[in-house]
Amino acid sequence: MDKSQGADDDMVTGVKPLCAPVTAVLNSGRLEADYKANAQEVFTKTGDQTTVAQDVSGYPRAQAEKAMAGLRAAVEQCGTFTGKQGGKKATVTVKKTAEQPKYGDESLRYTVKIVQGDMQMDFDMGTIRSHGAITTVLNNYSDRGDRGLGAFTKALSKAGEKLAAAAAKTA
């Protein structure tokens, strides 16, 4: 979520360091704030609140590898954890999906659920690294309309192909 869109109240903060990569990618779309290049795009389905968003960031390769290792550890070890959202307690549940397609040098597909009071937000997520480039595709779906899982899966596959092709042109 881009802070310029007034999403500060949606940011999840105050989580233990191990789980911070999950909230970093939720809050900003990227794993590290110290990126060399960045682009974001959000696609919204008319008629409901379903969105597919993509963030692409460039880092030195060692930094990208470390960031992906941190995200993988968070997804595999955090399960359910708490933080603050809009000043109130939020419970975050992260789970690696059964289907783990291989994209780029490494990839990770997972789901995230945030519950804060009587509000729940659900996300399908996929993060891919090729060389020093990392892309995350996020599917934010509402309880109205369909989940859009097919569109998310296609978007993640296409993002992986394009990232690998672009990264292959770098050192």
Burial degree of 62 (CB within 10 A; 0-12, 13-18, 19+): exposed
State which H helix or E strand residue 155 sits in: helix 149-167
Asked if residue 84 is part of any domain, the answer here is yes
pLDDT value for 167 = 83
Strands (E), the chain: 12-13, 37-44, 51-58, 80-85, 88-96, 106-116, 119-130, 133-141
Asked if residue 32 is part of any domain, the answer here is yes
CA distance 21 to 35: 15
Mean pLDDT of 140-159: 81
**Domain range for 61:** 12-169
Asked if residue 155 is part of any domain, the answer here is yes
Asked if residue 47 is part of any domain, the answer here is yes
Asked if residue 5 is part of any domain, the answer here is no
Asked if residue 59 is part of any domain, the answer here is yes
DSSP code of residue 118: T
Q: Which residues pair with 84 in a beta bridge?
A: 13, 89
Condensed to tens digits (0 to 9), the pLDDT of residues 6-19 reads 456 678 988 999 99
DSSP helix, strand, coil percent of the chain (3-state; round to 5)? 30, 40, 30
* pTM score, whole prediction: 0.88
Mean pLDDT of 122-131: 94
Asked if residue 2 is part of any domain, the answer here is no
Residue 2 has pLDDT above 90, yes or no: no
- CATH number of the CATH domain containing 163: 3.40.1000
Condensed to tens digits (0 to 9), the pLDDT of residues 37-75 reads 777 888 776 766 667 888 999 999 999 999 999 999 999
> What domain count does the chain have?
1
Asked if residue 6 is part of any domain, the answer here is no
